[in-house]
Amino acid sequence: MKRMILAAVLAVAVHGVAVADSDAVAAARSYRKANDARILRDFADLLAIPNVAARPGELRRTAVAIRDGLASRGVSAELLEIDGVPPIVYGRLDAPGAERTLGIYVHYDGQPVDPSQWSHPPFEPRLYTAPVDRGGRSRPFPEAEEAIDPEWRISARGAGDDKAPLGAIFPALDALRAAGIPRTSNLVFFFEGEEEAGSDHLSDYMAAHREKIDPVDLWLICDGPVHQSRRPQLVFGVRGYTGIDITVYGAERYLHSGHYGNWAPNPAHDLARLLATMKDDQGRVLIEGFYDSVAPLTESERQALAEVPDVDEELRLELGLARSEGVGSLVERIQMPSLNIRGIASATVGSSARNIVPIRAEVSIDVRLVKGNDPAGMLDLVERHVTAQGYHIVRDKPDHATRLAHPRIARVVRRPGYPAVRTSMDLEIVEPVIEAASRAAGESVVLMPTLGGSLPLYLFTEQLQRPLVIVPIANHDDNQHAPDENLRLANLWYGIDLFAALFTM
């Protein structure tokens, strides 16, 4: 039954058949058209409050403004606080007779800014006719009756990542109220102020206020961009993360490469050989068991993947790549765990290279995890592989006696990790989300089993034991984390429609 409904929704998505706008989406659109200049100005006011994660003092102002924004819309809103940590903006808005509670996660903090790199001060929002790096010109914010081009960009730190959902949720609530359309779910708002700093206290907040968020049946993680093809997307998971640093050693001091080269072991060459055993030139990781714990994709996930627009060729052209690694498209590759060299260092290169045998060689590796992979277990596999290549593993810099006792020594430093998250597309509660997004988009939405990137969303699925769906609204070219961050107005409009649809699904 679930399968059949999902299949029907996917069929709509696949064939691009337009679905009739629901009342809610129609109401959101007419409300937005009547109020677009004001909606934009309200969003600009929110963007004007600095929200750099590295400056926690500023974040409180932002949190207060958001709490007040919720409260003015009838939400029972408050700040949850832990000393010295940016507050959580929490809110609850019940719907009479609702049998379902949706959790809405947004983060209101932003990445650092280097104003010298921006076209304008990052917390003085500007409107541009197009992206600045593609010829966009600054223009005044429109008056009430002026026509607004949906290709315009509103630019400020946080415009895309991650105040954009706030810019859409408030008008969506207003639109539904104005049209007298009842919400069908209870809503729990849970807005974090520490995401760009690593979400170090998210787990503590969840534990301290468990009773406030326990009613949530499904979390909507409002963050990230839509698909590169500009098609709206829903994302059902993120990859997990871990990493390992390996240092191999040569002699205790630098040796003259003429007098000792090819007699003294060269740690750079040893490391090269070690790394060569880890991945072949087709991109397949050769570490035993590396792919064994991968949870297989479901039929729905496989079908969804087959429908994701192919951007590989375009990406290769853009990036100057005549090939990509491995068999399969980008979107297929990120369904598998990865082993990526972040950096290698041994002595010096180029004009500062010296005629020496290096004393050590270091590599830093990150491992991205998919559903089924245990972070520590994956590092165990890497270590076992290193051992199998004849290395004695140490945790600290080896002393003289250790060096004399072992022909090959690898110092291994394991990075902390966390697992992947992937919500099944076949869950009953997921079906209306897909349907609502398709209605809001007016076209099929991309259903992405996982993002390539990593976020600690396992806190929602493991600590809170609830499913989640990521519902992005920002454009993929929003300069997230970079200068001239911006939100395309068409994406903001989509966001308003999307939340109106989700709140009434």
Interface residue with a second copy, options 49, 127, 255, 470 (CB under 8 A): 255
From CA 128, how far away is CA 154, in angstroms rounded? Answer: 6
- Residue 94's nearest CA partner among 19, 162, 221, 189 is 189
Interface residue with a second copy, options 2, 60, 64, 260 (CB under 8 A): 260
Residues 178, 243: contact at Cβ < 8 Å?
A: no
Q: C-beta of 413: minimal distance to a second copy in Å?
A: 9
Contact pattern for a second copy over residues 315 through 334, marking x by CB under 8 A: -xx-xxxxxxxx---x--xx
Burial class (CB in 10 A: 0-12, 13-18, 19+), 396: exposed
- Interaction of residue 259 with a second copy, rule CB under 8 A: yes
- Interaction of residue 289 with a second copy, rule CB under 8 A: no
* Tokens (6 digits) for 160: 């895309």
The Cβ of residue 426 has, within 10 Å, a number of other Cβ atoms equal to 15
Q: Taking CB under 8 A as the criterion, which residues in 437-466 touch a second copy?
A: 451-454
Q: In terms of CB distance, is 55 or 263 closer to a second copy?
A: 263
Cα–Cα distances (Å) from 21 to 24, 25, 37, 87, in that order, read: 8, 6, 23, 38
Residues 439, 277: contact at Cβ < 8 Å?
A: no
Residue indicated by tokens 């040893």: 270
Stretch that binds a second copy, among 38-46, 99-107, 205-213, 264-272 (CB under 8 A): 264-272
- Interaction of residue 400 with a second copy, rule CB under 8 A: yes
Q: Taking CB under 8 A as the criterion, which residues in 103-122 touch a second copy?
A: none
* Tokens (6 digits) for 157: 């730190």
Interface residue with a second copy, options 19, 208, 345, 482 (CB under 8 A): 345
Interface residue with a second copy, options 262, 395, 416, 465 (CB under 8 A): 262
Interface residue with a second copy, options 1, 4, 20, 353 (CB under 8 A): 353
- Interaction of residue 141 with a second copy, rule CB under 8 A: no
- Interaction of residue 414 with a second copy, rule CB under 8 A: no
Residue indicated by tokens 């200068």: 483
- Interaction of residue 349 with a second copy, rule CB under 8 A: yes
Residue indicated by tokens 């750079």: 268
- Interaction of residue 339 with a second copy, rule CB under 8 A: yes
Q: In terms of CB distance, is 32 or 476 closer to a second copy?
A: 476
Interface residue with a second copy, options 89, 132, 235, 356 (CB under 8 A): 356
Q: Taking CB under 8 A as the criterion, which residues in 224-243 touch a second copy?
A: 239, 241
Question: Side chain identity at 360, as an amino acid letter?
Answer: R
Residue indicated by tokens 């839509």: 226
Taking the CA of residue 57 as centre, how many other CA atoms within 13 Å lie in the half-sphere pointing to its CB? Answer: 0
Q: In terms of CB distance, is 17 or 321 closer to a second copy?
A: 321
Q: In terms of CB distance, is 211 or 281 closer to a second copy?
A: 281
What b/e readout covers 138-148, taking b as 16+ CB neighbours within 10 angstroms?
eeeebeeeeeb
Stretch that binds a second copy, among 1-9, 191-199, 380-388, 405-413 (CB under 8 A): 405-413
Stretch that binds a second copy, among 68-76, 189-197, 258-266, 466-474 (CB under 8 A): 258-266
Q: In terms of CB distance, is 20 or 404 closer to a second copy?
A: 404
Q: In terms of CB distance, is 362 or 462 closer to a second copy?
A: 362
* Whole-angstrom Cα Rg for the chain: 26
Residues 190, 460: contact at Cβ < 8 Å?
A: no
Q: C-beta of 283: minimal distance to a second copy in Å?
A: 6
Stretch that binds a second copy, among 20-28, 42-50, 129-137, 271-279 (CB under 8 A): 271-279
Which helix or strand (DSSP H or E) is residue 63 part of?
helix 56-71
Q: In terms of CB distance, is 165 or 398 closer to a second copy?
A: 398
Q: In terms of CB distance, is 75 or 455 closer to a second copy?
A: 455
Is 139 in a helix, a strand, or coil?
strand
Q: Taking CB under 8 A as the criterion, which residues in 183-212 touch a second copy?
A: none
Is 465 in a helix, a strand, or coil?
coil
- Interaction of residue 346 with a second copy, rule CB under 8 A: yes
Q: Would the CA dihedral through 1, 221, 370, 316 be positive or negative?
A: positive
- Interaction of residue 282 with a second copy, rule CB under 8 A: no
From CA 333, how far away is CA 284, in angstroms rounded? Answer: 10
Q: Taking CB under 8 A as the criterion, which residues in 357-396 touch a second copy?
A: 357-358, 361-364, 366, 368
The neighbouring-strand residues paired with 362 are 247, 345
Q: In terms of CB distance, is 137 or 253 closer to a second copy?
A: 253
Q: C-beta of 156: minimal distance to a second copy in Å?
A: 22
Q: C-beta of 139: minimal distance to a second copy in Å?
A: 29
- Interaction of residue 272 with a second copy, rule CB under 8 A: yes
From CA 204, how far away is CA 375, in angstroms rounded? Answer: 21
Stretch that binds a second copy, among 151-159, 175-183, 399-407, 486-494 (CB under 8 A): 399-407
The neighbouring-strand residues paired with 151 are none
The Cβ of residue 67 has, within 10 Å, a number of other Cβ atoms equal to 20
For residue 133, is the peptide bond before it cis, meaning its omega torsion is within 30 degrees of 0?
A: no
- Residue 64's nearest CA partner among 193, 195, 246, 236 is 193
Q: C-beta of 362: minimal distance to a second copy in Å?
A: 5
Q: Would the CA dihedral through 388, 391, 397, 400 be positive or negative?
A: positive
- Interaction of residue 276 with a second copy, rule CB under 8 A: yes
Number of residues that bind a second copy (CB under 8 A): 82
- Interaction of residue 258 with a second copy, rule CB under 8 A: yes
Residues 453, 340: contact at Cβ < 8 Å?
A: no
